[in-house]
Amino acid sequence: MQPKELLALAQEFGCPLYVYDAAKIKSQYDRLKNGFSKVARVRINYAVKALSNVAVLQYMKVIGANLDTVSIQEVRLGLYAGFAPEQIIFTPNGVSFEEIEEAAALGVQINIDNLSVLEHFGTKHPRVPVCIRINPHVMAGGHTNISVGHIDSKFGISIHQMPHLLRIVENTGMHINGIHMHTGSDILDIEVFLYASEILFDAAKHFKTLDFLDFGSGFKVPYKKGDIETDIEEFGQKLSKRFNAFEKEYGRDLTLAFEPGKYIVSEAGFFLAKVNVVKQTTSTVFASIDSGFNHLIRPMFYGSQHAIENISNPKGKERFYSVVGYICETDTFANNRRIAEITEGDILCFRNAGAYCFTMASNYNSRYKPAEVLFKDGKGILIRERETFEDLLRNQILLD
Ligand SMILES: *Cc1c(COP(=O)(O)O)cnc(C)c1O
């Protein structure tokens, strides 16, 4: 999207504001899908937790995506947005047995990631097909908070527990229809992913009635010019070849599944905020915006570096700024960043604000959550109203 279009949306809907570019969501989806055009059956389950607005989910359905969910509430949002239960996979970690049963009763695909639940579920519901989440113990690159396949990770059933897993399946007579891994975000090295895939193929050979192999996600997206990103075309070509060979060897039709979140929506999102104060101190120039980590926590939480542009003055001379929020504790979006000269009242645009931004927003400091807009066919559609004081009070009870 162009700075002019974003500025017009900031004026129309006010700030702070999240904007999602529908065309970019579709082009990322298509790019991933096209990377696997040589595979007969490909299923892309969009990871709802990245951005869960129901209008965005509706749009995911329009472009052909299915859903990956991690809570019963996400399952419900998916159904509300019009997905059929068969289009949803439920991949929770550490949730109650009742929550898994509830999802199964709604007809969604269950994905189980520990042996005790597997045994309990298989005993009680031997006819419900189940996918199992394997932990291949492969260390994907990236941040420790988002790398989930390594040896100490709480996710998945260890590949070393295969004998126990098989005993449970045999004893309960349960039907395993899928096998899954998710090694975490920020995969830099395709070879590492392919290595993990070999572990999944090996695991798959133990089961005779699989319908799908789910390779999770972890596709890296660029945050700034020159950043490394997963080469989807090369990756697609290599994994497709291997998958097709495996399918032949396996002797049964298989679907290749992925569950990307960030890859689909990160770059489609823009966060727009107004500069309230420009403060010159002895050491730096602060630009304080009408937002904080209550709306965009990733810089403080993961140290993520969102590119920031001054869309009110895109051609201005660049100066160095520290961009900070209004929360009453350390609340820094960026330090020492070159940004076109900022005047109070200017609108700043944060890039890569589609994934894990609004969904992690809170009401800390009793602030309202921002509005959300989907930019589609050249115009902005309001898909979430800005909160009001009534929203803050909802569910609170005064003493008599
Ligand atoms: C979070 C999550 C994803 C999505 O990860 P991205 O890095 O956003 O692509 C996929 N699968 C599972 C099981 C997840 O928990």
Q: Note whether 217 and 185 are within 8 A (CB).
A: yes
* pTM score, whole prediction: 0.95
Report pLDDT for 193: 86
**How close is the Cα of 70 to the center of ligand 1, in Å?**
9
Distance CA 19, CA 348 (A): 13
Ligand 1 within 6 A of CB of 172: no
For 238, half-sphere exposure in the C-beta direction (CA atoms, 13 angstrom radius) is 15
Q: Which residues contact 103 (CB under 8 A, 6 or more apart)?
A: 72, 75, 90, 92, 110
pLDDT < 70 regions, the chain: 139-152, 184-188
Q: Report the pLDDT value the prediction gives residue 223, as an integer from 0 to 100.
A: 87
Pairing of strands 379-384, 332-340: unpaired
Which of 217, 131, 142, 111 lies closest to 177, judged by CA? 131
pLDDT of the residue at 155? 87
Residues 6+ apart with CB under 8 A from 178: 109, 111, 129, 130, 131, 132, 210, 211, 212, 213, 214, 257
Cis before 16 (ω within 30): yes
pLDDT of residue 153: 74
**What distance in Å separates the CA atoms of residue 350 and residue 311, rounded to the nearest whole number?**
10
Residue whose C-alpha is closest to residue 41's, from 242, 211, 218: 211
- Choice from 68, 135, 258, 360 to test ligand 1 binding pocket (greatest atom count within 8 A of CB): 68
Give the per-residue pLDDT at 154: 80
Ligand 1 centroid vs 148 CA: distance in angstroms?
Answer: 10
Those residues with Cβ within 8 angstroms of residue 170's Cβ, 6 or more apart along the chain or in another chain = none
Name the CATH topology of 36-261.
TIM Barrel (3.20.20)
Reduced to 3 states (helix: H, G, I; strand: E, B; else coil), residue 344 is coil
Pick the closest to residue 246 from 366, 238, 181 (CA basis).
Answer: 238
List 5's β-bridge partners, or say none. none
Whether the CB-CB separation of 44 and 29 falls below 8 Å is answered with: yes
| Residue nearest atom 4 in ligand 1 by C-alpha distance | 261
Write down the domain spans for the chain. Answer: 36-261, 269-393
Contact 16, 36 (CB under 8 A): no
- Please identify, by atom number, the ligand 1 atom nearest to the C-alpha of residue 91: 13
Whether 263 lines ligand 1, by a CB cut-off of 6 Å, is yes
131: annotated active-site residue: no
Is the CB of 68 within 6 Å of ligand 1?
yes
Residue indicated by tokens 């959550």: 369
pLDDT at 184: 67
pLDDT for 219 equals 86
Task: Please tell me the CATH superfamily of domain 269-393, with its number.
Answer: Lyase, Ornithine Decarboxylase; Chain A, domain 1 (2.40.37.10)
Ligand 1 site, residue 164, Cβ cutoff 6 A: no
pLDDT digits (tens, 9 = 90+) for 54-105: 999 999 999 999 999 999 999 999 999 999 999 999 999 999 999 999 999 9
Residue 146 confidence (pLDDT): 47
